[in-house]
Amino acid sequence: MKIYWQISYFVIGLLIFSYGISMSIKVQYLGIHPWDVLNIAMFDKFGLTIGTWNIIVGATLIVFTLMLKGKYVRIGTILNGVFVGMLVDFFLKYDLLPSQMNLGSDILILLSAIILMGVGGGLYSAAHLGTGPRDGFMLTISDLTNLSISRVRILCECTILVIGLLLAGPVFIFTFIYTFIQSPIFQKSFLFFTHRLHARFSNQNNISM
């Protein structure tokens, strides 16, 4: 029974997270997350789709994580790497997104996108079916170097941001404040949904006893 709840958390979390990414891409001129800067830059330079580049980058990171003997690649990691890219392309292709009207509404769209990405990321992570490809790679680097996860995240995202900038990706003010908004929301969401899942099945076990 628990696995069904885990799968529900995972799928709903991916949907929310992917929708948040799509919303942010719609108002990309305000600045987007460094990894999405890279995906859009690759799309502009080489074609394909933004979602396809998300999948390619994710698959590359999974391969590197496995080569480094990282322990964070599970079935959820692979599904995350594939389905986020597919969902982003779906939402963008059919424009299932809020309409742009003016700067104020665009800022509101972007802030909503950051919140959705934080909540969605926390929700699918709380399923404990595997980290996302990027998180798995950064956790592996942290294990190998003994650097803190936050320091590794900053180093990785700064490196990706520089690459995105060199490829003329969309960088602006919100690119530099993403982490300060999204990370705390992710943490609170992850802890909340993890607690809910644990509490639900702890209560069921107590009742059955």
Q: What is the pLDDT of residue 209?
A: 47
| Residue-averaged pLDDT of the chain | 88
Specify the higher pLDDT residue, 190 or 149: 190
43 pLDDT higher than 60: yes
pLDDT digits (tens, 9 = 90+) for 153-182: 888 888 888 898 898 888 888 888 887 788
Q: How far is CA 48 from the centre of its chain?
A: 20
Of 150, 108, 109, nearest to 21 by C-alpha is 109
Give domain limits for the chain: 2-202
The answer to whether residues 70 and 77 touch, using CB atoms and an 8 Å cutoff, is no
Please give the single-letter amino acid code of residue 145: T
Q: Could you tell me the pTM of the whole model?
A: 0.88
32 to 4, 43, 121, 164, 172: CA distances (angstroms): 33, 15, 16, 11, 7
Of 31, 27, 74, 32, nearest to 54 by C-alpha is 32
If pLDDT is split at 50, 70 and 90, which confidence band does 17 have?
very high
Q: How far is CA 109 from the centre of its chain?
A: 17
Helices (H), ranges, 29-74: 34-46, 50-67
Distance separating alpha carbons of residues 22 and 39, to the nearest angstrom = 12
User: What is the full DSSP assignment across 94-144?
Assistant: TT-SPPP-SHHHHHHHHHHHHHHHHHHHHHHHHTTS---HHHHHHHHHHHH
pLDDT digits (tens, 9 = 90+) for 99-139: 888 999 999 999 999 999 989 988 998 888 888 898 888 88
Q: How many CB atoms lie within 10 A of CB 130?
A: 21
